[in-house]
Chains A and B, each alone.
Chain A
Amino acid sequence: MWAALDILLQANFWAAAIRIATPLIFGVLGALVCERAGVLNLGIEGIFVAGAMSGWLAVYLGASLWGGVAVAAATGAAFGLLLGLLTVPLGLSQHVTGLGVTMLATAATYFGYRVAFSTVSTPPRIEPFPPLHVPVLGDLPFIGTVLGQQSALTVFAFLCVGAVAVVLARTPLGLALRAVGDNPEAVEAQGLSVVALRVGAVTAGSALMALGGAFLTLSAFNAFYFGMINGRGWVCIALTVFASWRPGKALLGALLFGALDAYQLRIQTIAGGVVPSQVFLMLPYLFSIAALVLLARRADYPRALMKPYFKGQR
């Protein structure tokens, strides 16, 4: 019993929680930007895969780490642009198109990997983002250990949360984005372009999602594996509802999920002999389902979410 609680006092546990949360932070932020503009982006899982592979490949071929991040973002943006063009001006089903983009991005990525490394059995590794040394805070006993294991990309994720929050709340662009997800006619009547805003939001949001994938290859695992995304994108879709489409709550939700995942990894070693390990593996997902059951009914969905808009129709 005490051992189970003792985990919470370990700096390593908190370091792992933040590390696991980082790709989710990018993913939830991206999903939130898309959905605030009224577009559900189910391409997220595939965009994670494409971002992970393209960022890693760029670095492997000689680009800098931040160059890899940029390539991943551009790849995500490209798939986002595709999804945006299909769902916004053409008004196709966002569910079907999103799942299609996930399949396309995943398959194209795996295909590209097979073509590039047809003879390699183990994926080549790259030199990842080094652990960050934060002055002053990094020298503190507990906090220093937690921070000392994080990379610059994690810090960037936290900065993105702040940036998205400020843009949504304080800027004219944020106003227009929130408005277009609530009532596109309001945006149209004020002389703004619904299509440009929505396609732009999906493109930008998808770029953020791809960074979640890139974190896995450039900072966590140092290489690209098949199946490495393993449902992280879908978790982000659930966390977006949990977060009520607010960046601050999105950060909280991602950290909570990260903490649960880190916790189940550690509790397995304590109780693994008694309880099958699969039960613990389920915990974070059970949490997601429970959170959705409790919160989704009350959730204040963007009113125009998943509703295509055609100019001149009311």
Chain B
Amino acid sequence: MPSDLPPHETRPLVLSLSGITKRFGALTANDAIDLDVRAGEIVALLGENGAGKTTLMSILFGHYVADAGSIHIADASGQMAPLPGGSAQAALAAGIGMVHQHFALAENLTGLENIVLGTVPLWRLGFSRGAARAKIEGLMRGSGLDIDLDVPVGRLSVGEQQRVEILKALYRDVRVLILDEPTAVLTPQEAEGLAQTVRRLAARGLAVLFISHKLQEVLALCERIVVLRGGAKVADRPSAGADRATLAELMVGRPIPPRTRTPGRPGACVLDLDGVSVGRAGERDRLVEATLKVHAGEIVGIAGVSGNGQGALAGLVAGLMAPSGGRADLAGTRLGAANPAARVAAGVGRIPEDRHRDGTIGALSVAENLVIETIAAPENQSAGFLRYGALRARAAQAIRDYDVRCPGPDAAIRALSGGNMQKVVLARVLERAPRLVLAHQPTRGLDIGATTDVHRRLLAARGRGAAVLLISEDLDELFALADRIAVIHAGRLSPALPAEGLDLRRVGLMMAGHAAGEAA
């Protein structure tokens, strides 16, 4: 908490949005939003996907022009001046810095070059790297952000890349810093480090807009919480006295039933990995001598920061990759060469990490996407011709059962929202009653409503007796669903421990590479 600043009301205003409205066709993405931000304030912007957070920030940063409303920002002397819309250049010049969820970094340039980019006129024949370095090093000392400035950014870790992003903004002496879902890619410890940095920066008078949908961290970090829903501002209140349940209800617009979890009843071993390796040394996403058992009727969660071998584990189970060593059995059958079709036949249901790239084929219809993995089955084809009548009938049934919001079985799946697309994937996988469900980041990018639905379905699959392997970066999700949790780091899998005996802090340390023993 900032201590050397005057109380909240008397701090100078730095940013004032009034009546911001933006429409895309029939959709009102922002509806007359007012927002005042004062120096040294940390304001959370909460909302589900599609609530209008990103649109609002894109307007502030000049990516979009608002249809109505105005933005005023304090200039160097503290006077509020209007900000011309539609220009990132103007926003930067006015002292607004933005750290995007997807980093805007050139990976072939060093940290120093990325930070300096755009701050020196392009017609200059050169620039003083020494002076730039001195200024950045001063900023690194002041903020606690520390990176190697001379390594191409592509070789830095995700956490380090985020520090480059923040330094980029600080280098331009911003007065307002926007952080868009900054902790989505961080381990809990990295997220705590970021929170400390943000507090330190705010204490020096920087105004911080913190976009997030993680209620816990918003409550811990921010002084004020602004909630958007359906494009409109529905709440603007101090965080003191707020709790998760109220905030979730404000975001969703209806009460969220508390999740209740009953322990699973593990049966026979379905997936049995014994010292399995996938991929070669030097590859980033690989599996090193992993040992894991997943039983029927239990959910085993795999926690870890993305890119630590989850892709190799999922690829092995889904039959996209062959093991390079060790023994891998699926219900008593040895897993050998990569053969995804054989896995489907053996009863593996795969919910892929990226539903746009691997989960669906955008140009095909909902009905076609539903049978894409079982296209050769007699109920889907006869003599090589698709039985479209049967396909449509079953698609219509799945659309009802899974509450897919779409025009109908013949709609191209790319027209569906992420949540509805995921429901189609779930229907495809779960209607086969698979023996093993591989759920890789099944709720990434989904809002609370769709997430709740996915969770319910996975628990139902477990109840039916399926073994579920749940790979997720979201620790809340893992603790809500998994009976046992293993942590993956640098391709090595920890033993799967009962979820009841673990806590967030310990899993977080293991995600950062500490052994299970030290982390305890």
B224 part of interface (Cβ distance < 8 Å): no
Q: Does B479 contact A (CB under 8 A)?
A: no
Bound CA span A180–B113, Å: 13
Q: Closest A-chain residue to B58, C-beta based? A: A312
Question: Whole-angstrom distance between the alpha carbons of A30 and B63 in the complex?
Answer: 32
Cα of A314 to Cα of B119 in the assembled complex, Å: 23
B123 touches A178 (CB 8 A): no
A264 → B minimal CB distance (Å): 36
Residues of A within 8 A of B114 (CB): 179, 186
Interchain CB contact (< 8 A) of B118 among A176, A181, A185:
A176
Are B100 and A191 touching (Cβ within 8 A)?
no
A-B contact pairs, 15 of them (CB 8 A): A172-B124, A172-B126, A172-B127, A176-B118, A178-B108, A186-B105, A186-B114, A190-B168, A191-B89, A191-B91, A192-B117, A302-B108, A303-B107, A312-B58, A312-B64
Output the nearest chain B residue to A312 by Cβ-Cβ distance. B63
**Cβ of B258 under 8 Å from chain A:** no
Nearest opposing residue in chain A for B127, CB measure: A172
Residue in chain B with minimal CB distance to A183: B106
* Interface mask (A179-218 → B, CB under 8 Å = 1, otherwise 0): 1111101111111100000000000000000000000000
Residues of A in contact with B (beta carbons under 8 Å apart): 170-173, 175-176, 178-183, 185-192, 302-303, 311-312, 314
Q: Is the CB of A187 within 8 A of B117?
A: yes
CA distance A302 to B108 in the complex (A): 8
Known: A189-B88, A190-B168, A191-B89. A173 touches B123 (CB 8 A): yes
Please report the total number of B residues contacting A with Cβ < 8 Å: 32
Question: Interface 1/0s, chain B 84-109, versus A by CB < 8 A?
Answer: 00001101110000101010111111
CB-CB under 8 A from A182, the residues of chain B are 106-109
Shortest Cβ distance from residue A167 to the other chain B in the assembled complex, whole angstroms: 9
B122's nearest neighbour on chain A, judged by CB, is A173
Nearest residue (CB) in B for A36 is: B108
Interface residues of B (CB under 8 A from A): 58, 63-64, 88-89, 91-93, 98, 100, 102, 104-109, 113-114, 116-127, 168
Given contacts A179-B106, A186-B105, contact A192 B125 (CB under 8 A): no
Bound complex: CA A302 to CA B88 (Å)? 24
Complex contacts, A311 vs chain B, CB 8 Å: 63
Q: Which of chain B's residues have a CB closer than 8 A to the CB of A186?
A: 104-106, 114, 117
| A267–chain B nearest beta-carbon distance, Å | 41
What is the bound-complex CA distance between A141 and B93, given in angstroms?
61
- A173-B123, A175-B117 in contact; A190/B108 too (CB < 8 A)? no
A185 to B91, CA, bound (A): 15
| B107 lies within 8 A of A183 (CB) | yes
Asked whether B108 lies within 8 Å of A303 as measured between CB atoms, the reply is: yes
Residues of the B chain whose Cβ atoms lie less than 8 Å from the Cβ of A170: 126
Residue in B106, B107, B116, B124 with the greatest tally of chain A CB atoms within 10 Å = B106
Instruction: Say yes or no: A188 contacts B106, CB within 8 Å.
Output: no
